[in-house]
Amino acid sequence: MSKTETLYGLHAVTTVLKSAPERVLSLMALQGRQDQRVQKVLQLAAQNGISVEQVARKKLDALAGDGNHQGVIAHCRPGQAHDENFLYHLLDHLDEAPFLLVLDGVTDPHNLGACLRSADAAGVHAVIAPKDNAAGLNPTVRKVACGAAESVPFIPVTNLARTLTQLQERGLWLRGAAGEAKATVYQSDLTGPLVLVMGAEGSGLRRLTRETCDELIKIPMAGSVSSLNVSVATGVCLFEAVRQRNS
């Protein structure tokens, strides 16, 4: 495991300064930038005794690669590594019905970041994904997630089908999104202990994942486009679950 993680973008850096400032080893800010959003980051750093290095844009651009750093980059100690033991401990100590999101092989970091952001907004307790052939947490994911990667537990698992079966054995219901489903997301019961399972870009749910689900659901499509981007579809399904669970 890497000894440090790089976070860039105002939301991601602000979130770690608020939630876990002890992780921040160093902070760089764009030289001469004085707007209110950057000043807020600098104030949080000062409150936590974190020194800030003022650097030229060229250095920030080089560190962020293709990413939009928005004038701030933080080097941090790695956050807590979550595994299946963490997941089951979390479930054992919830005082409300579990609400989990599974991403079955989402490979685009931008999609993963957007899914994490929606999961955070919807109140999801954890996001689960396979360790292999799927995107993991990286600076791009953390930037797109706007801080959600620091607030929602992300749990990579070795064998997704086995994890799904163990969740079923704990009384959680698996609802998998698939275009061939007969029931729509609006017809399905998304209350109670729920695992919402979303497939990969293009290929959708893998066969074993699909067969493990208790029910397949779909988003009704009125236009000529046959499917939605996975992050958009995830948002639609999550917030239909939120509507049902709060009604």
Return binding residues for S-adenosyl-L-methionine.
199, 219, 228
- Judged by DSSP in three states, 95 sits in coil
Cα dihedral sign, 18-19-20-24: negative
Q: Give CA angle at 211 (243, 236), nearest 5°.
A: 25
**Cα separation, 18 vs 113, whole angstroms:** 20
| Dist CA 116 CA 101 (whole Å) | 9
Q: Which residue has the tokens 């699909």?
A: 210
Binding-site residues, please?
199, 219, 228
Q: Is 87 left (phi over 0), alpha (psi -120 to 50) or beta?
A: alpha
Q: Do residues 196 and 241 make contact, with C-beta atoms less than 8 angstroms apart?
A: yes
Q: Is 123 left (phi over 0), alpha (psi -120 to 50) or beta?
A: left
DSSP class of 82: P
How many contiguous H segments (helices) and E segments (strands) does the chain have?
10, 11
Q: What angle do CA 101, 205, 176 make, to 5 degrees?
A: 50
Q: How many CA atoms lie within 13 A of 65 on its CB side?
A: 6
